[in-house]
Amino acid sequence: MAKGYANVYYFTGGIPEWRYFNYPLAGEEKWQQVKVNKIPPLEFKQLLDTHDDIFLLDTRSLDRQILTRPELVFAMDNSIMAGSYIKGVQHCPLVFLEENHHLIPRDRPILITDWIMKQSVIAAKFLTLQGYDVIGVLKGGTARWQTEGLPLVEGQDSLQRQLSCD
Q: Would you say residue 12 lies in a domain?
A: no
Q: What is the pLDDT along the chain (166 residues), one digit of tens a residue?
A: 667 788 877 777 777 777 777 777 776 678 888 999 999 999 999 999 999 999 999 998 876 666 666 666 666 666 667 788 899 999 888 888 998 999 999 999 999 999 999 899 999 999 999 999 999 999 999 999 999 999 999 876 544 444 333 3
Work out how many domains the chain is built from and give that number: 1
Kindly report the CATH number assigned to the domain that includes residue 60: 3.40.250.10
Tell whether 5 is covered by a domain: no
CB of 142 closer than 8 Å to CB of 58: yes
156 in a structural domain: yes
Coil vs helix vs strand at 132 = coil
Domain hosting 68: range is 29-165
**Structural domain includes residue 39:** yes
Q: Does 81 fall in a domain?
A: yes
Beta-carbon contacts of 111 under 8 Å, excluding residues fewer than 6 positions away, are 39, 44, 47, 48, 54, 55, 56, 57, 134, 135, 136, 137, 138
Coil, strand or helix at 63 = coil
Instruction: Tell me, rounded to whole angstroms, the distance of Cα 3 from its chain centroid.
Output: 35
Tell whether 99 is covered by a domain. Answer: yes
- Amino acid in position 112: I
Residue 111 located in a structural domain: yes
Query: Does residue 23 lie in a domain region?
Result: no
